[in-house]
Amino acid sequence: MGKIMIESLIEFPRSMYIERSKKVRDLLMDSGIDALFLTNEENIFYFSGVRFFPPGVSYTRPSFLVLPRDSDPILLVHENHLMHAKLSTWIKDVRSYSEMNAAPLDSIIQMFKDSGVLNSKIAAELGYEQRINMPYITFRNLEMKISNQFIDGSHIIWRLRMKKMGEEIDCIKTACRILGKAYRELFESIVPGMSELEVASLMRATICRLGGERPSFIVLSTAIDSNTHQGISEFSPHTLSLMTRPPLDRRIKSGELIWIDSGVVYKGYNSD
């Protein structure tokens, strides 16, 4: 039997991630912090290159990344994601765990130990627009098992993520182009009698056909007057409050106002 050739899934140059890692170390050094501990999948993608499916927060199979100041990073994923993670990242030390529905505290502690950051000051996702992807009780148990001091690391994360590199800007521009074209094609295809759900489904299909991975979100509705339960044909502040809802199985009538707000995901980057 011939060998199965498995190609790398890394989507961006390794140099981009190495540069980010260096910047993290410099910021940790300036702040007197020993490591950055990440659990949010968007942050893990940003620093490791690994994207998970389905997208969004996984409560049953979370991932964890330690970026130490003085040693190499370590990525910990559920065993179901191990091969994908190894093929998608520049990080050499990729580990796995088998537990379901619980954070693997022993494996996390081992990451800290092997990184030389036990009994140290560790920055975590504790601040502005950040969340720790584990239950509060579990995080408290982690704090009690070790002597680390966890502090807010959101200033480090946002200082890096807010300044986009050229490759990131190209992805966002591509996502915007796809979205603009999808809007134009969609409005040429909508006819009275279609349901809001059918229009949303057509939007999803159009985005994917044009090269997007998926919509980042779809808000699509025909504004309905709460008193008459009839569709509204003109815009006002009142109609805006009626529009911000998910699409329903309601048929669109001729002359009604259709509200669509959407975004496109391209290589992990969003347009809005």
Q: Which residue has the higher pLDDT, 245 or 207?
A: 207
How far is C-alpha 70 from the geometric centre of its chain's CA atoms? 27
Residue 220 has pLDDT above 70, yes or no: yes
pLDDT of residue 4 exceeding 70, the answer is: no
Say what the pTM is. Answer: 0.88
> Residue holding tokens 């290589």?
267
Q: Are 247 and 199 in contact (CB under 8 A)?
A: yes
More confident: 199 or 242: 199
Question: What digits encode the pLDDT tens for the residues 133-146?
Answer: 999 999 999 999 99
| Residue 201 vs residues 26, 111, 190, 252: alpha-carbon distances, Å | 46, 43, 12, 14
Residue among 259, 268, 254 nearest 167 (CA): 268
In whole angstroms, give the CA distance from residue 41 to residue 62. Answer: 8
pLDDT of residue 224: 63
In sequence order, what are the beta bridge partners of 77?
96
Rounded Cα distance between 109 and 120, Å, is: 12
Question: CA–CA separation, 233 vs 70, rounded Å?
Answer: 62
CB atoms within 10 A of CB 26: 12
d(CA 132, CA 65): 12
Distances 79 to 5, 25, 133 between C-alpha atoms, Å: 21, 28, 18
In the predicted structure, residue 5 carries a pLDDT above the cut 70: no
Please answer whether residues 218 and 186 qualify as being in contact, where contact means their C-beta atoms are separated by less than 8 angstroms: no
CB 12 within 8 A of CB 269: no
Domains of the chain: 14-161 (3.40.350.10), 166-270 (3.90.230.10)
Please measure the distance between the N-terminal and C-terminal CA atoms of the chain and give it in whole angstroms.
48
Q: What is the pLDDT of residues 39-89, one digit of tens each?
A: 999 999 999 999 987 666 677 889 999 999 999 999 999 999 999 999 999
Please give the share of the chain, as a percent, with pLDDT higher than 90.
Answer: 73
